[in-house]
Amino acid sequence: MMALNGNNGQSATNNNQQYSLIKRLYASLAFVISVGEYAVLIYDVARATIRRPPHFYLILKQLFDIGVASLPVVAITGLSTGMVLAAQSFYQLADKGLASVTGLMVAKAMMTELGPVLTAFMVTGRVGAAMCAELGTMQVTEQIDALKTMAVNPNRYLISPRFIAGTLMIPLLVIFSIVMGIFGGYLVAVYFFGMAPNTYFDPMPIHITYFDFLTGVIKGFVFGILIMTISCYKGLRTSGGAAGVGRSTTNSVVITYCCILFVNFFLTVGLNIIHSQLTGIWE
């Protein structure tokens, strides 16, 4: 009897191990399939956009929703970030006699890192989540299937306008956030700490290059592609009714945030390597 119980226990352990292995393999396979579907979606959207661009009024609506409607939240984010940067920089550098580089630190940080990343985060939370929820609702209510039955390409009609508008407007929002951050730092440095305006702005033309500005713009362009495509992909893959829409929206925001952070690192390293190589060739 004891031997029988021992065999049963060992068999149950083996079954659990096999089930755990199968579960991990299934999760890995599902991830690979999702990456493949995501790549195919990007290819289909790019092909549909090039072959037959969507109507301009569809793009114009998305330009307003993504760009103009996001100006207040981007302005608040950039302004508050610049103010905090100026305060922290002044407190850390004043006792070392380096308070004059406060404006330079604010401008550098806003252009290369904080401006693009925080703008992408704000747009993801405001636009990406709404976009995923909208497409997810259309998917679970079979509106997208209805478009297909009417010979309307969903990629061209639904995703392409968002893709075009996002890749155009998010770099502009990044520039706006940079300007607001520098202005916020100016308010704190000049009117709170009593720094002379010339002291705040004078180091910028000397130490800030076009590469710093282009870094922020390029990051904004890449982040725009990530936000639009991931949000649309998760929306189109929604299932399970209202609860599924909520899950897809949450997953799209989390995945987009993680992708932005990882891609930001690789863009920073890659762009600086390219810049150093080009600088060495030109010299």
pLDDT digits (tens, 9 = 90+) for 143-177: 888 888 888 888 888 899 999 999 999 999 999 99
133 pLDDT higher than 70:
yes
pLDDT for res 54: 86
pLDDT for res 4: 46
60 pLDDT higher than 50:
yes
The mean-pLDDT minimum among 104-108, 148-152, 212-216 falls in 148-152
Q: Mean pLDDT across the stretch 81-110? A: 89
pLDDT band at 93 (very low <50, low <70, confident <90, very high): confident
Q: Which two tokens stand for residue 41?
A: 């979606």
Buried-state track 120-154, b at ≥16 Cβ within 10 A, e below 16: bbbbbebbbbebbbbbbbbbbeeebeeeeeeeebb
pTM above 0.75, yes or no: yes
| Backbone CA torsion sign across 242, 150, 167, 83 | negative
pLDDT for res 26: 63
Between 161 and 8, residue with greater pLDDT: 161
Q: Which two tokens stand for residue 171?
A: 């770099």
105 with 138: CB under 8 angstroms? no
How far is residue 198 from each of residues 194, 195, 212, 276, measured CA to CA in Å? Answer: 12, 8, 21, 31
The mean-pLDDT minimum among 56-65, 97-106, 108-117, 218-227 falls in 97-106
245 pLDDT higher than 80:
yes
